[in-house]
């Protein structure tokens, strides 16, 4: 919990003036619904449309600093390549992210449109995110607007709006939803309903990216945000819906987490206040699991999510963005006050009853019978990076067999509505797509964020080095170690290392924090084993940890063994000094 000084200094919409708030808050207000980069009231009148037009016509190579903050609401991050020793180069481009509620289910036509965009506008890869979306990397300024127009035509309307920014992000749901023959929780339609309710409503997105020359105005036609208001949320907000037999969404790490109490999803346990990001050397920041508030009916899920968003909008810290996430707000205002507001102000029938057990993690790989006939088939993707060769295989399978696609929180791909397993496997084998049982256990359970050289927040590599670490583990004869390893290049922890059995995040240019002991079902966070480990020692450390699991776990899940073992003893078994 943040110190009292941090808690008492919060500036909120309820008791603060705009002048006392952060620069980001003033940018949002001045934008009048995300349209103006420099408001005409201040004598300039530069719009986001002006900046996008300058990019498209090569009059500018990247977005301005103010536009960079607004671009996130449109699913766009300004990025700059980094060369040797992390030094920035003059190679400017964007990362573009789609919003994909509940990980799909993507139709054949939608998947083919997403696939086409990778070659037309990006670096030739599709990257599945840990929130069941897709990112495009190295999108240059001339391609930004054409890409977003393409995605809105072929993928879905407003396909990137709200994928980033101070709003509700992609709503997650179990990939098994609508597929599992043994349950029908309805997480997919519920995820879409929540996403629709909490999406931004300003039409600046349309004005900037979609309308033609004749349809464009000098300002937004409709700038009102009935839910968010002119300042939106203090920070990003995340929601996840677990499955009846699957917690791959890591439900306790969400701002709002929903766990079904039965196989039909008639009632849900409501958790809130989870989140994994932190800041080095700032003890007022920390990873947290969600707090249990009680249970609610399915009919009240959307209203409860909206209510918590409103409470966060009003009470979140608008001055210190490092304290602005809901996980800090609820611990400052208290769970009792939050429950009281839900019941009295928002009339949510929140019941005090014991929580049900958090379901296990499912990777959804291989062949499974599908509800309604046929089957679905999960393919392991290294850190979600779908390279051109795998893209080609997926495209042929989707086109030939008219398949739909679901994206998983483990950054893998599930092909659905498969009429004939043999025909699918023939296509995949012809393209040398590894079958899940041919991928080592340690590799199947691992994932990493993109990190360097594109992400501006990354301190170290992640996706670029994790395969080397996994190969070293396999070469040591430990590839069958059943352990979940997650790695990020900074403590924002996008790939969720704090909830992994072995978690790694960057510290400085070549050091890493190594965590151990998270619960496989996400119900317990990992603790620090090595506070700062040089990159040169990562291979022996990870090999040593896997060897310790093999030699000493005695049948216990890896996370439980690592949690229960004395850290000094464990470091001795690993044999690495730090």
Q: Within 13 Å and on the Cβ side, how many CA atoms surround 442?
A: 25
Q: Do the domain assignments include residue 24?
A: no
Three-state secondary structure call for residue 133: coil
Task: Specify whether 482 is located in the same domain as 347.
Answer: no
pLDDT tens digits, 416-452:
999 999 999 999 999 999 999 999 999 999 999 999 9
Task: Specify whether 532 is located in the same domain as 423.
Answer: no
Q: Do the domain assignments include residue 341?
A: yes
Structure tokens, 320: 């210190």
Q: How confident is the model at residue 3 (pLDDT cuts 50, 70, 90)?
A: very low
pLDDT value at residue 39: 83
Contact indicator for 350, 263 with CB cutoff of 8 Å:
no
Q: Do the domain assignments include residue 23?
A: no
Backbone angles phi, psi at 223, to 5 degrees: -105, 0
Inform me whether the pLDDT recorded for 7 exceeds 80.
Answer: no
* C-alpha pair distances (Å), 164 with each of 17, 100, 133, 168, 484: 26, 12, 11, 8, 27
Place of tokens 């390893």: 485
Q: What is the CATH number of the domain that holds 520?
A: 3.30.413.10
d(CA 466, CA 504): 10
Q: Do the domain assignments include residue 224?
A: no
Task: Specify whether 343 is located in the same domain as 237.
Answer: yes
Mean pLDDT of 139-147: 96
Q: Do the domain assignments include residue 146?
A: no
d(CA 305, CA 291): 14
Q: What rounded mean pLDDT belongs to the chain?
A: 94
Task: Specify whether 376 is located in the same domain as 405.
Answer: yes
Q: Do the domain assignments include residue 473?
A: yes
In degrees, rounded to 5, the angle at the alpha carbon of residue 201 between the alpha carbons of residues 200 and 207 is: 105
- DSSP state for residue 94 in the 8-state scheme: E
pLDDT value at residue 211: 66
d(CA 308, CA 196): 16
Q: Within 13 Å and on the Cβ side, how many CA atoms surround 21?
A: 21
Q: How confident is the model at residue 215 (pLDDT cuts 50, 70, 90)?
A: low
Task: Specify whether 465 is located in the same domain as 317.
Answer: no
Place of tokens 């599930």: 414
Nearest to 188 by CA among 505, 499, 503, 407: 407
Inform me whether the pLDDT recorded for 295 exceeds 80.
Answer: yes
Task: Specify whether 252 is located in the same domain as 296.
Answer: yes
Q: Do the domain assignments include residue 294?
A: yes
Mean pLDDT of 259-272: 97
Inform me whether the pLDDT recorded for 216 exceeds 60.
Answer: no
Q: How confident is the model at residue 202 (pLDDT cuts 50, 70, 90)?
A: confident
- Cα dihedral: 107, 108, 114, 115 (round 10): 150
Task: Specify whether 181 is located in the same domain as 325.
Answer: yes
Task: Specify whether 383 is located in the same domain as 454.
Answer: no
pLDDT value at residue 118: 98
Q: Checking DSSP bridges between strand 485-488 and strand 447-448, what pairing results, if any? A: parallel
Q: What is the CATH number of the domain that holds 372?
A: 3.90.480.10
pLDDT value at residue 5: 37
Helix axes 48-56, 141-154, angle to 10 degrees: 110
pLDDT value at residue 2: 39
Structure tokens, 362: 């499912």
Task: Specify whether 330 is located in the same domain as 193.
Answer: yes
pLDDT tens digits, 395-410:
999 999 999 999 999 9
Task: Specify whether 339 is located in the same domain as 414.
Answer: no
Which of 298, 330, 362 is the last residue in one of the domains? Answer: 362
Percent of the chain surpassing pLDDT 90: 89
pLDDT tens digits, 542-570:
999 999 999 999 999 999 999 999 999 99
The range of the structural domain enclosing residue 378 comes to 366-438
Inform me whether the pLDDT recorded for 47 exceeds 70.
Answer: yes
Inform me whether the pLDDT recorded for 214 exceeds 80.
Answer: no
Cβ burial 351-379 (10 Å sphere, 16+ → b, else e): eeeeebebbebbbbbeebebeeebbbbbb
Q: Do the domain assignments include residue 225?
A: no
pLDDT value at residue 104: 77
pLDDT tens digits, 93-133:
999 999 999 877 899 999 999 999 999 999 999 999 999 99
Which of 392, 419, 438 is the last residue in one of the domains? Answer: 438
Which of 329, 362, 395 is the last residue in one of the domains? Answer: 362
CB contact set of 106 (below 8 Å; sequence gap of 6+): 100, 114, 404, 405, 406, 407
* C-alpha pair distances (Å), 108 with each of 6, 265, 404, 415: 50, 28, 5, 10
Inform me whether the pLDDT recorded for 1 exceeds 60.
Answer: no
Q: How many domains does the chain have?
A: 3
Place of tokens 């979940």: 484
Q: What's the whole-model pTM score?
A: 0.95
Inform me whether the pLDDT recorded for 224 exceeds 90.
Answer: no
Task: Specify whether 261 is located in the same domain as 410.
Answer: no
Inform me whether the pLDDT recorded for 220 exceeds 70.
Answer: no
Task: Specify whether 331 is located in the same domain as 184.
Answer: yes
Inform me whether the pLDDT recorded for 274 exceeds 60.
Answer: yes
d(CA 178, CA 190): 11
């Amino acid at each position: 919990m943040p110190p009292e000084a941090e808690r008492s200094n919060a500036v909120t919409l309820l008791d603060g003036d705009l002048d006392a708030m952060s620069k980001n808050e003033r940018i949002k207000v001045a934008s009048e619904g995300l349209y103006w980069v420099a408001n005409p009231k201040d004598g300039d009148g530069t719009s986001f449309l002006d900046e996008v037009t300058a990019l498209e016509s090569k009059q500018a190579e990247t977005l301005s600093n103010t536009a960079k903050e607004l671009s996130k609401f449109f699913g766009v991050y300004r990025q700059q390549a980094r060369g040797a020793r992390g030094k920035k180069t003059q190679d400017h481009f964007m990362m573009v992210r789609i919003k994909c509620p509940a990980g799909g289910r993507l139709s054949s036509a939608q998947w083919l449109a997403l696939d086409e965009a990778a070659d037309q506008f990006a670096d030739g890869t599709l990257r599945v995110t840990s929130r069941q979306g897709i990112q495009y990397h190295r999108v240059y300024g001339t391609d930004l607007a054409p890409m977003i127009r393409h995605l809105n035509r072929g993928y879905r309307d407003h396909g990137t709006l709200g994928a980033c920014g101070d709003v509700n992000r992609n709503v997650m749901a179990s990939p098994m939803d609508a597929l599992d023959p043994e349950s029908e929780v309805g997480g997919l339609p519920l995820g879409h309903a929540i996403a629709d309710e909490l999406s931004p409503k300003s039409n600046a997105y349309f004005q900037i990216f979609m309308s033609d020359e004749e349809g464009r105005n000098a300002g937004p036609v409709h700038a009102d945000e009935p839910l968010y208001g002119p300042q939106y949320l203090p920070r990003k907000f995340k929601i996840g819906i677990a499955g009846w037999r699957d917690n791959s969404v890591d439900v306790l790490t969400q701002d709002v987490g929903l766990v079904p109490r039965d196989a039909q999803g008639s009632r849900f346990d409501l958790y809130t206040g989870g989140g994994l990001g932190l800041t080095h050397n700032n003890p007022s920041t920390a990873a947290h699991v969600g707090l249990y508030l009680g249970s609610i009916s399915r009919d009240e899920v959307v209203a409860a999510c909206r209510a918590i968003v409103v409470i966060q909008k009003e009470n979140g810290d608008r001055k210190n963005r490092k304290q602005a996430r809901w996980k800090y707000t609820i611990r400052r205002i208290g769970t009792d006050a939050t429950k009281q507001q839900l019941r009295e102000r928002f009339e949510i029938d929140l019941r005090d009853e014991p929580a049900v057990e958090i379901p296990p993690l499912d990777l959804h790989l291989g062949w499974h019978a599908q509800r309604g006939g046929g089957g679905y088939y999960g393919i392991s993707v290294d850190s979600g990076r779908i390279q051109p060769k795998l893209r080609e295989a997926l495209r042929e399978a989707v086109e030939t067999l008219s398949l739909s696609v679901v994206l998983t929180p483990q950054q893998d791909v599930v092909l659905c509505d498969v009429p004939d397993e043999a025909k699918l496997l023939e296509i995949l084998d012809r393209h040398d797509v590894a079958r899940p049982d041919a991928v080592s256990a340690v590799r199947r359970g691992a994932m990493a964020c993109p990190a360097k050289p594109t992400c501006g927040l990354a301190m170290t590599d992640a996706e670029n080095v994790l395969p080397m670490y996994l190969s070293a583990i396999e070469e040591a004869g430990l590839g069958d170690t059943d352990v979940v390893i997650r790695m990020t290049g900074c403590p924002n922890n996008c790939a969720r290392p704090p909830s992994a059995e072995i978690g790694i995040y960057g510290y400085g240019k070549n050091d890493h924090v190594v965590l151990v002991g998270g619960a496989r079902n996400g119900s317990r966070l990992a603790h620090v084993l090595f506070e700062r480990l040089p990159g040169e020692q990562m291979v022996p450390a990870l090999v040593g940890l896997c060897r310790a699991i093999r030699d000493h776990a005695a049948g216990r899940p890896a996370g439980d063994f690592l949690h229960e073992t004395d850290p000094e003893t464990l470091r001795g078994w690993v044999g690495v000094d730090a």
